[in-house]
Chain A
Amino acid sequence: MTDRGLQQHSGAEAVMHGSADKRANEEAARVRRRYRSEARFKAYGIAAIVVAISMLILLVGSIISTGWSAFYQYEIALDVTFEGSEIDANNPRTANYNGFIKSALRSQFPDVSGRKEKRKLYGLVSNGADLQAMQVVVDEPVKIGKTVRIWVLASDDIDSLLKGYIDRDLPEEDRRVKDTELEWIDQLKSDGRIRWSMNTVFWKSGDSREPELAGFWGAIVGSFFTLLVTLALSFPVGVLAAIYLEEFAPKNRWTDFVEVNINNLAAVPSIVFGLLGLAVFLNFFGLPRSAPLVGGIVLSLMTLPTIIIASRAALKAVPPSIREAALGVGASKHQVVTHHVLPLAMPGILTGTIIGMAQALGETAPLLMIGMVAFIVNVPGGITDPSTVMPVQIYLWADSPERAFVARTSAGIMALLGFLVLMNALAVILRKRFERRW
């Protein structure tokens, strides 16, 4: 472009005045066009970034807006009479607490009659209300034979209604909560028998078929055990492999082959590791299904390349002068590594490990293959107990048809993201605090 501009300039003297003017105009127009295209190009770049970041905001926003309501729950006050004749004071767990809850509801709404209506009435409170009532008696046996006001959880439909997710203006047949139930709820509300409280069930219990009783704690503990196994396997193996490849391995075909292998493993789809786990660990070695042990082994194979690559980078960053100085005062090659290089590379290695663990924490697909998708109510107590992990629990809830599970799913996602943010923040702090420039 510039050559042509030069030619035009030198030629301009020879041609007529008007023509030169025209050319100057053309030139100015061309420059304007080029600047316009420059501005457009820059705008495309800004637009791309804005779109990407607004997607992130949309993602987080939609999760938070659907999920925050799962952190509180509505409760209904019932005046429950613990009939002394029906409760064995020595063994209070055996009594029929469901009956007490039902009679409390009946006495609250004495004019309800008919089987269908009564069933609807009992459906106001959660299926777990009898357990709450039992807990009251087990904690304070003096309450046997008395009428006590206790707060029990509302059922998931009523909870959704109170949180405003069910539109009261819909025609009755399209609504999950019918007109009679609306009446009861309004009456309870005007009596001050409805309140909200923090959702402690979510943080304390395992999974359940009832949304209001489903908790995330079982999945958190399962994730903890799984990551424990992953860390115990992949950290030592990864660091040892990295040290060997970086400090000791001779430069030959075999070492190259190992390196190519590690790089390729890092890009193998995670579900393939699940197939490996299913075929080798479950069917060949006969390890237990759904156990954090197998999940941890599979995830450790998956995170191993990440840890090896990060550890090698950290080892490589230690300057050779350190090694030479140590060798110079008579240390052996192993002593150089264990006494000098490894401690200096440790912050980098730990950062890489934490990032690998965060990856493992969010991984779902391979765990589906080895049976960690089972419906598990109990909180696992060890690495061989059947359990599930946070992302799989999220997947299971996302698949559940009940409306109230949507909020639980989002709440679970928030908890998972919280853990991930914590881990990544730890990695960043570690890097900032201990990073050394040589």
Chain B
Amino acid sequence: MQIWALILILICLAAYGHVIGRRRAISFAAAKPALLHSLPFYHGAYLALWVVIPSLLAIALWLVAQGPIIESLIISGLNTDTQALSADRLSLVLNDIVNVASGDIPSREPTPEIAAAAQKFSELKKLSNLGMVVISLGLGIACLWWAKGKISAEFRARNQVERIFTIIMILASTIAILTTIGIVLSLLFEAWRFFLRIPLDDFLFGLQWSPQTAIRADQVGASGSFGAIPIFAGTLLITVIAMCVAVPLGLMSAIYMSEYASNRLRGVIKPLLEILAGVPTVVYGFFAALTVAPFFRGMGETVGLDVSSESALAAGVVMGIMIIPFVSSLSDDVMNAVPQTLRDGSFALGATKSETIRQVVLPAALPGVVGAVLLAVSRAIGETMIVVMAAGLAANLTANPFEAVTTVTVQIVTLLVGDQEFDSSKTLAAFALGLVLFFITLSLNVFALRIVRKYREKYD
């Protein structure tokens, strides 16, 4: 709460800075208004920015730095034999100290050493908080005073303020790049640690996936083997099923809407299909597990087939339904981009509407449609909740859609949900799978976007 109060005080200080900046500028202008380079507003804004930005930076820096610094101070104050503990044990001791200091229940009865350290910890914390308040406010006031001195009639306040805003905007636009870099680095780093333990070719070409590492050496069935082929095969199977549903349905509805339907009908159907796209995936997952999977199981029983209740079929079909609007709206766009003259030429030769569509419009739109399908494939591969709720957990290497298979995303979720130590091969394997997922979807997207763009330029 304290930090919010501090920020509130800073905002008040900035408002005050704005007022005095304006007033000072107006007092200069009173003599000869034409001499003032910038409007009084910009002088005020200049002072306010000088109050807020340095002190906010100081607060952020302080918050990041205070934890490690306090920690190292505490550790240096502990007994030498406690300091000699391994990193894991030491972090447990530190945890106890923090718990004692905040009044929570520590894992053991606190020894005098820990109690003293806890005392020191809370004192340091208090000191640090005080320091933060003093430094940030002091910095704000100092900057205010310094910037106030710069204000004069000729001072180019507007240019200064605009320059600061330009810098802020550039920073905002680089966040997208930082995110990408963050994703790539974190995945690469964790996956690299995984591949130090498990060789890359074992992971990419192994046929056995059972990430449960053995606790005892002689344990059966917990070999901790990380061959990802069954997972890739499962992902592929479910994706293929989803595409078998989504591509014909999506494409045909796009054709009907762009070539046959009247504007009124379009106005009704398009929003309905968009609703299908807006339903959260967890809802589809529940629908798949509750309604569709039992339905397929019952169907299988009546014709004498053994359909698993977590069959790839159910997950794939529901995923296909989810992707229909995606395929249809993208292909609708591409088909609308085909020039009307091509259609008119075909009609003039006596072709029927369907012949025109099949032999003129679709071939012309084909690259775009392929791009749309590739984007849909990338969506299907990356889709998580439907498969987590409706597909299986065991990695079966099978092409039978009635059996349960597992996918990359399901494995990432099962490996990472729940309490786990962060350094085991099991959790690191999730990052290796994440890396594979990221690169496959990324290359599909890049490829698809290139196709779509190339096609669009052709008729414009």
Contact = CB atoms under 8 A, between A and B. Distances in A.
Interface stretch (A44-52, A136-144, A319-327): A44-52
A interface, by DSSP: helix, strand, loop or mixed?
helix
A58 B179 CA distance: 39
A56 B276 contact: yes
Given A48-B256, A334-B165, A304 B282 contact: no
Q: Which 7 pairs across A and B sit closest by C-beta, in order of nearness? A: A269-B382, A45-B256, A362-B280, A48-B252, A279-B186, A41-B354, A365-B384
A261 B177 contact: yes
26 contacts: A2-B349, A38-B352, A42-B260, A48-B249, A48-B251, A48-B252, A49-B252, A52-B276, A53-B269, A59-B284, A236-B172, A237-B172, A241-B175, A241-B176, A245-B173, A258-B177, A270-B384, A271-B434, A275-B187, A275-B412, A276-B183, A276-B187, A279-B431, A280-B182, A301-B175, A398-B289
Contacts of A394: 282-283, 286
B169 A395 contact: no
Interface string A37-81: 110111011111101110110110011001000000000000000
Given A38-B353, A56-B272, A258-B174, 13 more contacts: A37-B352, A38-B354, A41-B357, A44-B252, A51-B249, A59-B279, A62-B290, A244-B170, A248-B169, A283-B422, A301-B175, A304-B175, A364-B384
A407 to B, nearest CB: 11
A395 B186 contact: no
B35 interface: no
Interface stretch (A12-20, A156-164, A186-194, A412-420): A412-420
Contacts of A257: 177
A104 B409 CA distance: 52
A406 B177 contact: no
A221 B353 CA distance: 54
A358 B175 CA distance: 22
Interface string A388-401: 00011011001100
Interface string A1-39: 110010000000000000000000000000000110110
A244 B172 contact: yes
Contact of A413 (B273, B283, B321, B352): B283
Nearest to B175: A237
A240 interface: yes
Interface size bracket, A side? 35 or more
A185 interface: no
A399 B92 CA distance: 33
Contacts of A66: 290
A420 B174 CA distance: 30
Interface in A227-274: 236-238, 240-241, 243-245, 248-249, 257-258, 261-265, 267-273
Nearest to B414: A368
Interface of A: 1-2, 5, 34-35, 37-38, 40-42, 44-49, 51-53, 55-56, 58-59, 62-63, 66, 236-238, 240-241, 243-245, 248-249, 257-258, 261-265, 267-273, 275-276, 278-280, 283, 285-286, 301, 304-305, 308, 332-334, 358, 361-365, 368-369, 373, 391-392, 394-395, 398-399, 406, 409-410, 413, 416-417, 420, 424
Interface in B51-100: 64, 67
Contacts of B279: 59, 362, 417
Contact of B186 (A56, A241, A280): A280
Interface in B278-332: 278-287, 289-291, 321, 324-325, 328
B183 A417 contact: no
A271 B256 contact: no
Contacts of B352: 34-35, 37-38
Nearest to B187: A275
B158 interface: yes
B210 to A, nearest CB: 22
Contacts of A59: 279, 283-284, 287, 321
Given A413-B283, A413-B286, A268 B278 contact: no
B351 A1 contact: yes
B25 interface: no
